[in-house]
Structure 1
Amino acid sequence: MAKDAVYAKDGTIDYLGNPAKKRKTGTWTACYFILGHEFCERFTYYGMSTNLVLYFKHQLHQHSATASKNVADWGGTCYITPLIGALVADAYLGRYLTILYLSVVYVIGMALLTLSASVPGLKPTCYGKDNCHASHGQSAVCFLSLYLIALAAGGIKPCISSFGADQFDDADEVEKQHKSSFFNWFFLSINTGGLIAASLMVWIQDNVSWGWGFGIPALAMAASGVSFFSGTRLYRNQKPGGSPITRICQVIVASIRKYDVEVPNDESLLYETKDKVSAIQGSRKLDHSNGLR
């Protein structure tokens, strides 16, 4: 069998650092574990965050405006931290290790949040169902856990979908078609996890307890990490390619210096190398586009 038929052509490697074999790594067999991780992680995120304003109001005894502001600040942090996660993954750790390490941080944050809502001494003192008062220390534990979650969730967000795409070789037409189907299932898992969480966990938090309301998502996040780790031997991994900030600066400088260069009709002349992969380790060639000429 030809070498090209044995190994993936996009430069991916297996968990041992060897070239990824097409029959033993990647494709849907690996993606089932990634989809399981995403479903559980989104269930955890929305199950914990959907009712957070009420938790701040009734358990931490915050004014409505303060509670809303704190949730908005926390949510904004969740959408800023992907910049950190993407940089770390692309430049240093790679997507697999970034997702794995931050999943552990996520579980720690969820466990700490569950303890802060259920363990005497850590949970606020309550004089009725919606009449609770939290000390400064109890509030600090709660916010520490939430920002650990924000760091982890934000770091995972930019990596997990790209890591799923890494499991399909663009040089293989069959696998390339399957990649589109993967993203359909990926977003289905996100929305299904969010729907179940927003429906079920809010009811549990309102009618059972906040301990269970946070504890069940914590268990789901632990299951998420187990699901992801279980597929280690099957994954295809892209090597870290160095800081993307450096490459962005290079593109800006090159575009200014070459603003008047005529674009050739032969797209192969656009590349710095005639090989099938990019000259930058861990990166791929981008398809030629007439956009942004």
Structure 2
Amino acid sequence: MAEQDIHTKDGTTDFRNNPAIKNETGNWKACPYILGNECCERLAYYGINTNMVNYLKSQLNQSNVVAINNVTNWSGTCYVTPLIGAFLADAYLGRYWTIASFSIIYVFGMTLLTLSASVHGLKPTCDEKNVCQPSGLQTGFFFLGLYLIALGTGGIKPCVSSFGADQFDDSDETEKKSKSSFFNWFYFSINIGALVASSVLVWIQTNVGWGWGFGIPAVAMAVAVVSFFSGTRLYRNLRPGGSPLTRICQVVVASFRKFEVEVPKEKSLLYETAEEESVVKGSRKLDHTKQLR
């Protein structure tokens, strides 16, 4: 029993893919790196999104309608790509490697965006009346960076909050209560990043220059990546469990086949296995409950 108490009971592993040791991984010691990553990523995202219409109008010489349409398309893409990131994380890569790999894509996109607003030849040329005439190459380079960011956020947005939740073992009552506090801090980090972006960065973009206005979010995103990798040895990781679409179909079929089955009062009779882990690799068993039969 003493040997079993050393490790977590929810099937999580450490960075070497060994069973996670309770006192050395997860919990609050791992959370600052995750919260720092989220705060910087949100600062970078809102630092671009908040003032993008003005950039497209002033630097790429787009009309108001075209600029708004482009920003709407980009924002919509940012909310569609998480479907890809979530699927890859659950089925194949796991949350850690999904966040890590898509964060690097995000930084690359931010770098291209910064170069497009600051480097001669990539930056649109403007006349004395401040009317800019961007070339097709300059416009394409800008949108390439912009949509790499949309792809990058697709791997971060659906995974960070659940990865933070993975750091707390639900079978431990103390850690289970701490999980609620983590989500409070998580949303606080999001709002801090958004506040700084919507106030300080917008002022810099308007009064100092777009190169600095995009460069600072790029640095923030680089800090987010460093912050995330710094906590690698402390993280608890859930193994990917294969395609979730297969499991969804299994649940639907089982629900129709067993809708008349009585739910047992004893939880030991509920599961197909007596072990702590689920039969489905990378998943955890749900708590026994009288609700939601």
Measured against the shorter chain, the TM-score band is over 0.9
| Structure 2 Cα separation of the partners of residues 129 and 232 of structure 1 | 51
| Structure 2 Cα separation of the partners of residues 154 and 60 of structure 1 | 26
User: Structure 1 residue 41 and structure 2 residue 41: aligned?
Assistant: yes
Q: TM-score, normalised by structure 2?
A: 0.96
Check 1:69–1:265 CA distance in 2 against 1; reply closer, same or farther (3 A cut): same
- CA shift, 1:130, in A, is 4.7
| Structure 2 Cα separation of the partners of residues 129 and 172 of structure 1 | 66
Secondary structure, aligned partner of 1:94: helix
1:153-192 maps to which residues of 2 (within 5 A)? 153-192=153-192
- CA shift, 1:129, in A, is 6.9
Corresponding residue of 1:2: 2
Q: What do the CA deviations read for 1:43-100 (whole angstroms, capped 9, x no partner)?
A: 1111111100111111111111111111111101111111100111111111111111
| Alpha-carbon RMSD | 1.5
| Structure 1 Cα separation of the partners of residues 128 and 198 of structure 2 | 25
On the 8 A contact 2:35/2:185 being kept in 1, the answer is yes
How many residues in Structure 1 have an aligned counterpart in Structure 2? Answer: 293
- CA shift, 1:120, in A, is 1.0
Corresponding residue of 1:206: 206
Q: Quick one: percent identity of the two aligned structures?
A: 65
- CA shift, 1:249, in A, is 1.3
| Structure 1 Cα separation of the partners of residues 165 and 76 of structure 2 | 26
| Structure 2 Cα separation of the partners of residues 215 and 29 of structure 1 | 31
1:232-271 maps to which residues of 2 (within 5 A)? 232-271=232-271
Corresponding residue of 1:67: 67
Q: What do the CA deviations read for 1:98-131 (whole angstroms, capped 9, x no partner)?
A: 1111111111000000001111111111125752
- CA shift, 1:256, in A, is 2.4
Letter in 2 for 1:27: N
- CA shift, 1:290, in A, is 5.4
Q: What do the CA deviations read for 1:231-250 (whole angstroms, capped 9, x no partner)?
A: 11111111111111111111
Q: TM-score, normalised by structure 1?
A: 0.96
| Structure 1 Cα separation of the partners of residues 129 and 8 of structure 2 | 58
| Structure 2 Cα separation of the partners of residues 84 and 107 of structure 1 | 18
User: Structure 1 residue 216 and structure 2 residue 197: aligned?
Assistant: no
Check 1:291–1:205 CA distance in 2 against 1; reply closer, same or farther (3 A cut): farther
Greater shift in the superposed pair: 37-46 or 260-269:
260-269
User: Structure 1 residue 273 and structure 2 residue 273: aligned?
Assistant: yes
On the 8 A contact 2:103/2:155 being kept in 1, the answer is no
